[in-house]
Structure 1
Amino acid sequence: MLTGAPLGIALALVSAVATAFAHAYLKVGEDKLAVQAWIRLIGLTAFLPLAVHFGTPPAALMPWIVGAALVHATYQWALIHSYRLSDFSIAYPLARGTAPLFTLLFGVIVLRDRPAMEVVAGVAILCAGILTLVRHGSISRRGALVAAATGLLTTAYSIIDAKGVREAESALHFIAWFYVADGFTMPALLAMRDGGRILPALRREPAIGTKAGVLALVSFVPALFAFRLAPVGAVAALRETSVLIGLVLGGAMLKEALDMRRAIGALLILAGGAMVALWTAS
């Protein structure tokens, strides 16, 4: 039975698969803010009973819960704009893939993680694959900047989430209250955009919103547990192997062209991810 870091690695890989599908559904949705609102509401519905069961979180945990919700909301807002500006198969790797090295670095500084040098090398190979994808992709300067900013926000929320889930006596206590706090952010932005008429907007994207919301839970709940069990930089890097799946989905679901350079970049990401998984679990 898997325990400790090996279990964290397995959970990170589960998260990677579900992440790619959740992002693909977000890209497909015409009203992306409505899809994001659906994702938040489904998370809130799923975890509110558990949050009530646990009761009010301790004061020391509140800054991490609130901080996580705010950074996640900012990240989701940036992600929406990134997918409006660029192809999914370019914006997705850049948005998700600029984060691993920064997350690895801040994990060492803030969380006192101590990844093996082989893990650092694996993360570097993974990022090299992402640079291969982006360098030869068709993306505007504005699109690249927004996608890169989204990647930095990925680092920020990964560090905050990892700190919160490790500070909590029970991982589920932090997770439940995070989803409660996070559940109001995007619906509030949707209501502000539409002058308080949130229900008509939600009715435009029920099928895609529901699918994306369920996949988002399958994606992020395992990642939160993984942050508690393994170095945050390793977990973040393994989640980015979802780029390979994202490229396939970009061609199959969104009819975006896949060329040899993108395939080579994806294989580098996969190779780097394999190194990270092997040396973190050993």
Structure 2
Amino acid sequence: MPASLPSISGSAAVPVVVLGSAVLHALWNGLTHGLRDKLAGFTLISLASAGCGAVLVCLAPLPDPAAWPYIAASAALQVAYQLLLLRAYQLGDFGQMYPTARGTSPLVVALVSTTLLGHSLPAGQALGIAVISCGLAGLALADGIPGRAQLPALAAALGTGVMIASYTLVDGNGVRASGTVFGYIAWLYLCQGLVLPLLAWARRGPSLLTTLRPLWGRGLIGGLLSLLAYGLVVWAQSRGDLSTIAALRETSIVFGALIGAVVFRERLGHRRITASVTVLAGIAVLQFAGGA
């Protein structure tokens, strides 16, 4: 569990943990996108979150009172994130929606953390984030500029990216105010995991159970991968720079591009390969600058 990770050597563990989270994130998104009924898939992921959260809150220390506004805000933002990502996957293909959603986040996090929160961003880190962001943009636009018919899907994906950036900033500050990474994660899982299943039930009623039944295995596996991926990131946020972590976690786009090519038979092509190499070069710059 993420709570035991401090035994790994401090800040040196952060990039490894975040990159591992990126792999898990791409996997659960691929699993969910592959489900025909995506609302049912996202509902199962949320049920997994709520179930794990209900167990963990019995074991975890109670967060400091100062952390509760952050937990509430993060839960609301993550529900909005799930709804926007669900809509993006309903309207667009995985190879474009996933990188667009993920690629928006590091730019927003870097901008807000430096301009509004007053966090410093040395030149080396700024260069690494810029290179990574260019690679992410290349992955998102590898098939050309989206046409008018794709604009609703693109808007949902961009909104998803803004939500990712928003809860990244909230959690980065909230987990440090909580006094317990384990407790913060547990209550966050429980609070945000209850909302989407209630919304899905309000929309479909008892028929929701019928659609969940054949999907429960893949959906719950996706949910567990999602929980582990996010728990690892929250642990990293308690120890590392927010802008750097936001950039590193978006390397999930590289893994997502590979999943799109191998699993969904989407064309990888030289543009996607070049963009992926650019992302990896940005990570190297970021590490050389000591950003993570």
Which TM-score tier does this pair reach, normalised by the shorter chain? over 0.9
CA distance in 2, matches of 1:170, 1:276: 28
- 1:260 paired residue number: 270
Q: 1:7 deviation in Å? A: 1.8
Q: Does residue 124 of structure 2 align to residue 118 of structure 1?
A: yes
Name the amino acid aligned to 1:277: Q
- 1:8 paired residue number: 14
Q: Does the 8 A contact of 2:103 with 2:136 survive in 1?
A: yes
Structure 1 gap ranges (5+): none
- 1:108 paired residue number: 114
Render the CA deviation track for 1:216-252: whole Å, top value 9, x for unaligned.
1221110010111111111111111111111110011
With the length of structure 2 as denominator, give the TM-score of the two structures. 0.90
Q: After superposition, where does 1:199-278 map in structure 2 within 5 Å?
A: 199-278=209-288
Q: 1:189 deviation in Å? A: 1.6
Q: After superposition, where does 1:188-199 map in structure 2 within 5 Å?
A: 188-199=198-209
- 2:4 paired residue number: none
CA distance in 1, matches of 2:231, 2:288: 22
- 2:34 paired residue number: 28
Range 252-261 or range 73-82, more displaced: 252-261
Q: Does the 8 A contact of 1:113 with 1:231 survive in 2?
A: no
Q: Does the 8 A contact of 2:244 with 2:291 survive in 1?
A: no
- 2:24 paired residue number: 18
Range 191-200 or range 238-247, more displaced: 191-200
CA distance in 2, matches of 1:141, 1:233: 28
Q: Does the 8 A contact of 1:61 with 1:167 survive in 2?
A: yes
CA distance in 2, matches of 1:168, 1:206: 33
Q: Does residue 96 of structure 2 align to residue 90 of structure 1?
A: yes
Name the amino acid aligned to 2:77: V
Q: Does the 8 A contact of 2:105 with 2:162 survive in 1?
A: yes
Range 107-116 or range 76-85, more displaced: 107-116
Q: Does the 8 A contact of 1:9 with 1:280 survive in 2?
A: no
CA distance in 1, matches of 2:67, 2:206: 32
The partner residue of 1:59 within 56, 62, 65 is 65
Q: 1:215 deviation in Å? A: 1.2
Q: Does the 8 A contact of 2:62 with 2:183 survive in 1?
A: no
Q: Does the 8 A contact of 2:46 with 2:196 survive in 1?
A: yes
Q: Does residue 165 of structure 2 align to residue 150 of structure 1?
A: no
Q: Does residue 141 of structure 2 align to residue 141 of structure 1?
A: no
CA distance in 2, matches of 1:177, 1:148: 27
- 1:165 paired residue number: 175
**4+ residue stretches of structure 1 with deviation over 6 A?**
none
CA distance in 2, matches of 1:211, 1:49: 17
Q: 1:136 deviation in Å? A: 3.5
Name the amino acid aligned to 2:16: A
Q: 1:190 deviation in Å? A: 1.2
Q: 1:110 deviation in Å? A: 5.3
Structure 2 gap ranges (5+): 1-6
Change (3 A) 1:224 1:164: same
CA distance in 2, matches of 1:54, 1:19: 24
- 1:179 paired residue number: 189
Aligned-residue RMSD, C-alpha: 1.9
